Chain A
Amino acid sequence: MKSLSYKKIRRWAIAMIALGLLVGGMGPAPQASAATLSVCASGCSFSTIQTAIAAATPQDTISIGPGAYVGPIVVTKNLRLIGSGAKLTTIFGGVIAVGLSNVTLEGVTISKGLNGLELRNAAVVNATDIVIAGNAANGVALFGDSALSLISSVITKNGISILGNPIGSGIAARNSARINVFNIVITENGADGISLLDDASANISLLTSISKNGLDGVQLGGRSRATIDSLNSSGNALYGLAIEDNSQATVSGSEFSSNGKAGIHIGGPSSTLVGGSTLTDPPVTATATITSTTVSGNAIGILIGDLSKQRESANVTLRSVLVEKSSVCGVLIDPQAPKIVTMSDMSFSDNAQDKCSS
């Protein structure tokens, strides 16, 4: 994979945000009349973040000094929350953005919440240089029509296991939520790295790394959609990328390696509706276009279908994809349901079998 310097990445991402091409309605820019309210353990106007938020007016900046602060912090207005750096400023108990709030969040660690960062309703959050770690459920949870832009941040070790059931993803979005992640590390979370359900959507790009999560690296279910560029998804327990139900993905310039079941899975159920569990709705079709991508060192490189159900269809285009070192099969197509698979300029290397059908 090609590499970009951090400065270039950051400059590009910020430029994108400034152009308003990403999330609808970006973070509040400081205005001439905006005030800065300082929060710190002693010697500042405020000793808690929540009281500073209560006193702030829209467009103000909350400057958070080094130290640990108890949440959950609830934000209901347009504010900038600027920490002293993720190594110095920690918020315990989570940050919740609600309603029509438009929040900029920088330089903090968020830990020990139910969800680390939670967006409800139509909240918009632009977060940069943050760490979200050690929350009970999800690192980030998005509901409603909320939108998140996340740059140069780490989401790790969120979620718990209860009686062997993994709970909590790095980022989980449902309803109509939207996420844009750039240059992010998402690793060692209990369930998926990124999970989308319903009509949620995502742009995942710029050397984002998703690894060692308890289920899938990226999981698309429902009618969700994702555009993925320059992603490295590796070492996840199930799939590097799972495109299931009626979801759609466009993938380019990415790498999927050493995932437990398959590098990429297209066309199965996102749910645990196993064993022919009585679905009464019409068959569904997952759709994927994958180009200029490497799939390496997985049990199955690309799995199309799920080998057990008959209702899951898929429409797949593979172009300039290298599939290598698959211990079971490079591209495995389950023939039980209609599959439209177009392959061109493919490369296969060192697979147990290059192409198979169950």
Chain B
Amino acid sequence: MTKSNNHWPDSSAGLSRRSFLKGAGAGALALSLGPLAGPWVQAAETITIGMANPLETFFGQAAEKALLLGIKQINASGGLLGKNLDLITSDTAGRPDQALLAVEDLANRGADFLTGFFFSEALIGTIPAIPVVRKILLDTGASTPVLTIQVSKDYNNFKFFFRLGPVNSFFLLQLSVGFVRDFLEGKLGWKKIVLLAEDSAWTKPITDSFQTLLGAFGSKVQVVDVIRYAESTTDFTSLFSRAVKAGSDGLFTIMAHTGTRPTAQWAAQKVPLPLVGINVQAQQGNFDQLTNGAAESVVTLTSAARAPVTKKTIPFVDDFAAFSDVFPQVTIPSYNAFSSYDALFMLKEAVEKAGTLPDNEANTDKIIAELEQFGALKDGKPTDLFVGTTGHLGFYQRGEIGVTPLMPKQAFPHDLRFGPGLAGGLWIQWQSGKQQVISPANLKTAGFVLPPWMR
């Protein structure tokens, strides 16, 4: 079987996911557990949010801090349906096998709702558990489209999954290509780029189609080399030399898990190419310290920053910085912190509209139906958008195809809508120790600068 995003691979251990679901009957398996041990056991006094993330990372801590901040605010204003919210956490360690255990762990401990996930591989690891635990799961950090494709294929078992952010890998590609065309080519006059991508599940759709989509978007920029490197790479010297020899105007990064080391080496070696693109590690407030002062001029895409994306954005960023109950060293929200906070308040709104908690599958379905109303199409336009910190949020519907030219016949139900007027992200650049917004123009706080050794 072809290894692609919309197909399941053959099992490497004698049992495929398909045969598991067919043989065991995942939904029946869960429902047959009965009221005592089944998935609907819940705490009576509080509503429990279960967060699964790599807890030891900045991104796990930022998400946890954002959720605790939101929970504190919600509880202070009367809670949800008269109950206080509580947070429990479980470590994915960034691994698919541990992510699956984390989902089970949170469900066993009485979580009413699940959220989190940073590594796409970890999110993929939850697939066998989702039909069994049957809890609403809001992805706030991983971009792989595999899960929403699963929703389209097997709605009854995967209807629980929604992505609050970031947009999926295909839309990240479209965002990136749009930035190359409009900013790097349009404003800076770049003609050639080298893609520098970590070899990870979420980057493959991006590197596979980058050049094709540039042409389709009317850009003349050439991708003169695609460098995919193992995440365990410790020495980037030869890769930088390769990029320089390719004769490009800059390095376009596609890295989430590994940005610190290559950035530090890029600056230490004074590589004569600007470092722009997706560099998730550069979202951290202490990125400059982590890279030994290498952050200057690094550009990354992020979901939001301290800019008036919506009326909620700047207050959240300021509240996050001031919130010292946990992780006081984490002062700038990462993209998944924005999304985690949005997930909590979107969930609150959906539960209040449904008027019920997910104490059985019928009531869970009522909440799912309310979540599906965010961004529901009316006369071909998304309506009832949720105003979050990252923008206006809504979900694609079942059977809605043609949303990306990269998979025109594929629906992505419960994936975050992408397009004009919707949440999509902004491009920030490190300048003199601060993150400045360089695009889009309406949120711009500074112009683009070159690396110090190229000025």
Contacts and interface: CB of A to CB of B under 8 A. Distances in A.
B95 interface: yes
A28 interface: no
Interface string A26-54: 00000000000000000000000000000
B428 to A, nearest CB: 17
B124 A162 contact: yes
Interface in B311-368: 327, 329-330
Contact of A221 (B37, B93, B257, B259): B93
A280 B15 contact: no
Interface stretch (B17-25, B71-79, B300-308, B433-441): B17-25
Interface stretch (B54-62, B169-177, B205-213, B374-382): B54-62
Contacts of B95: 191, 271-272
A277 B260 contact: yes
B101 A272 contact: no
B56 A271 contact: yes
B20 A159 contact: no
B257 A274 contact: yes
Interface string A284-312: 00000000000000000000000110000
A275 B13 contact: no
A288 to B, nearest CB: 20
Interface string A131-167: 0001111100101100000000000011111111111
A345 interface: no
Given A114-B24, A166-B96, A172-B101, A279 B56 contact: yes
B15 A167 contact: no
B232 interface: yes
A93 B29 contact: yes
B132 to A, nearest CB: 5
A274 B96 contact: no
Contact of B132 (A114, A214, A273): A114
Contact of A159 (B13, B59, B261, B330): B13
Q: Is the interface of A mostly helix, strand, loop or mixed?
A: loop
Contact of A189 (B13, B20, B61): B13
Interface string B76-97: 0000000000000011011111
B158 to A, nearest CB: 13
Interface stretch (B4-12, B183-191, B418-426): B4-12
B15 A135 contact: yes
Q: What 9 A-B pairs come out closest when comparing CB atoms?
A: A275-B258, A271-B93, A276-B260, A161-B12, A136-B20, A272-B94, A191-B97, A165-B96, A278-B58
Interface of B: 3, 5, 8-9, 11-17, 20, 23-24, 26, 29, 32-34, 36-37, 54, 56-59, 61, 90-91, 93-98, 100-101, 104-105, 108-109, 119, 121, 124-125, 127-129, 132, 146, 198, 201, 231-234, 257-262, 264, 281, 284, 290, 327, 329-330
Given A161-B9, A166-B13, A275-B257, 13 more contacts: A74-B36, A76-B37, A120-B108, A144-B108, A162-B124, A163-B146, A165-B121, A168-B13, A190-B13, A190-B97, A195-B98, A272-B257, A280-B56
